[in-house]
Chains A and B, each alone.
Chain A
């Protein structure tokens, strides 16, 4: 290798790492500055620059205050209930739908697939105008089960993940079970569902993060914020009179994103693979 080639190569390496470090910095800076501010006392917050590190990293006062002021205890309970119900219910109907669409040929199969695909193209914000009216008529406003049901209804990516997975499970497995006299229900629940576990884990993580972070519909359909706030909507407490106490707000923000961070650290691989498999097909 000639000297000029070597120089070119190391220049490329430097550029490569410089880009990675720079954009990681860009990605982290807004969050890290929030963490720094969340540990500052009121006095520190007013008298020091935002990027100056706090005196003590053990000052959890803001976190405790934010947690209490925003009623986050209640909010975490609500979010947990919503999360469990939505995941259970949408996994069940999603896998069942994918099973029928993948294993049975019938007139309308393609039509149903296209109907779900088309539904995913409608922008959610626009659709909430008429959906609000329907929720109102059904008496679903300020009703936790109502919100849970509307959250289960529109999940195309999960269905695609399941269909793709079914395509890789050999049909001869079903056929031999049929020969043994198993019903379709048995085949689905006893044989296929257990095999589907990796796909279920993947799509549950994606759906879980999405549900936990959802705020637009939660804000609209769970208006009673003292009783029915979710973690995301509980942050609305900080709009208004508390709006400039950023040490408190930042603490609230950090609390709200901790669960997502924990899930991310433990399930990175599934999140990446889920996104990729959902996107290629969708």
Chain B
């Protein structure tokens, strides 16, 4: 046994060059060559930072300088400081927004997937906001919502008095809704395109057969369109809830989190990069990640239960 193993090792050594040239050797070589860079990048920019973040969350530290181990203190702070955990309440606004966004996208996708004059043009108009960069969107909407500017003017055309209109970005009773509006504006066209894609993947004969059987538009929607986009719809609902919890961009680029618009991530960004309380910010990130995982798993279970094969 021992001797034969030694012999194998010897033989392997002798034929290593040959092995490299063999099919198996080539396979390993090409796998190494093609996998190493993506995996290194994945490690360096995702998994190592992820581990570091968990570690940071137990320290009192800045990016540079001394670190002090503080145990669970940062986590206690996340739940006790008013500006941290309380900010998660704002995600309710964003969840409301994504409900509107998804229904709107579904409605428009249904219209556009039947024959419509100028359909491509309408689709293009509604999709285009998705392609604008975040900073530009920030300026566009600061301008849009400024007192007496675009939005107020359009409302005045509709018969509203300027004096009765609120300051859209300052008034605490409305400013979060204004911000959510910008996010709906930016993404409803993209959702719509996804839904159209899913609806179009249905065999056309199905619609023709349904027409022959005398099914009306509503029945077609219920029995053909809905089932065909179920997967992607469920996926988008799941994404929208985790998206709402981690809402960041609208307040970051438009109000900078002022006047009670600071979502959880905006507060976290501020704590991490302005106040340099890296430990606390890391704890905030870890807490939110855990919440997102729990929510995602619950949602998957929920949809599995409701739709049987709801997810994939």
Contact = CB atoms under 8 A, between A and B. Distances in A.
Interface in A226-282: 231-233, 235-236, 238, 246, 249-250, 252-253, 256-257, 260-261, 263-264, 268, 272-273, 275-276, 279-280, 282
Interface string A124-163: 0111011111101000000000000110111000000000
B128 A261 contact: yes
Contacts of B52: 130, 133-134
B26 A184 contact: yes
A253 B141 CA distance: 11
Given A129-B281, A129-B282, A130-B53, A256 B153 contact: no
B185 A27 contact: yes
Contacts of B50: 122, 127, 130
Nearest to A214: B133
Interface in A68-112: 93-94, 96-97, 99-100, 104, 106, 112
A130 B282 contact: yes
B11 to A, nearest CB: 24
A99 B34 contact: yes
Nearest to A26: B185
A104 B150 contact: no
A60 interface: no
Given A50-B149, A51-B154, A232 B135 contact: yes
A253 B150 CA distance: 16
A125 B246 contact: yes
Contacts of B148: 49-50
A97 B34 contact: yes
B193 A275 contact: yes
A191 interface: no
A276 B113 CA distance: 14
A215 B141 contact: no
Interface string A175-186: 000100001110
Interface in B247-289: 248, 265, 268-269, 272-273, 278, 281-282, 284-285, 288-289
A119 interface: yes
A116 interface: yes
A184 B154 CA distance: 62
A53 interface: no
B126 interface: yes
B288 A126 contact: yes
Contacts of A153: 41-42, 44-46
Nearest to B284: A126
Contacts of A136: 63
A253 B122 contact: no
B26 A183 contact: yes
A31 B129 contact: yes
B299 interface: no
A37 B143 CA distance: 10
B136 A256 contact: yes
B190 interface: yes
A215 B133 contact: yes
A127 B140 contact: no
Contacts of A122: 46, 50, 289
Nearest to A279: B194
Contacts of A260: 131-133
Interface stretch (B68-76, B79-87, B103-111, B302-310): B103-111
A112 B39 CA distance: 8
Between A125, A134, A253, A280, the greatest number of chain B beta carbons within 10 A of the residue's beta carbon is seen for A125
A275 B143 contact: no
A195 interface: no
A15 to B, nearest CB: 9
A19 B139 contact: no
Between A21, A122, A233, A249, the greatest number of chain B beta carbons within 10 A of the residue's beta carbon is seen for A122
B231 interface: yes
Between B34, B129, B154, B198, the greatest number of chain A beta carbons within 10 A of the residue's beta carbon is seen for B34
Nearest to A256: B136
B242 to A, nearest CB: 8
A27 B136 CA distance: 15
Contacts of A216: 134
Given A24-B125, A132-B63, A275 B44 contact: no
Given A23-B104, A27-B129, A130-B50, A215 B135 contact: yes
19 contacts: A16-B111, A23-B104, A27-B126, A28-B125, A29-B154, A33-B144, A50-B149, A96-B38, A100-B35, A116-B42, A122-B46, A126-B53, A126-B285, A127-B50, A153-B46, A235-B135, A249-B143, A257-B133, A276-B198
Interface of B: 23, 26-27, 29-31, 33-35, 37-39, 41-42, 44-50, 52-53, 56, 63, 104, 107-108, 111-112, 116-118, 120, 122, 124-129, 131-136, 139-141, 143-144, 146, 148-150, 153-154, 185, 188-190, 193-194, 196-198, 217, 231-232, 235, 242, 246, 248, 265, 268-269, 272-273, 278, 281-282, 284-285, 288-289, 292, 296
Closest 4 CB pairs of A and B: A276-B197, A130-B49, A213-B133, A126-B285
Interface of A: 12, 16-17, 19-21, 23-24, 26-31, 33-34, 37, 49-51, 93-94, 96-97, 99-100, 104, 106, 112, 115-116, 119, 121-123, 125-127, 129-134, 136, 149-150, 152-154, 178, 183-185, 188, 209, 212-216, 220, 231-233, 235-236, 238, 246, 249-250, 252-253, 256-257, 260-261, 263-264, 268, 272-273, 275-276, 279-280, 282
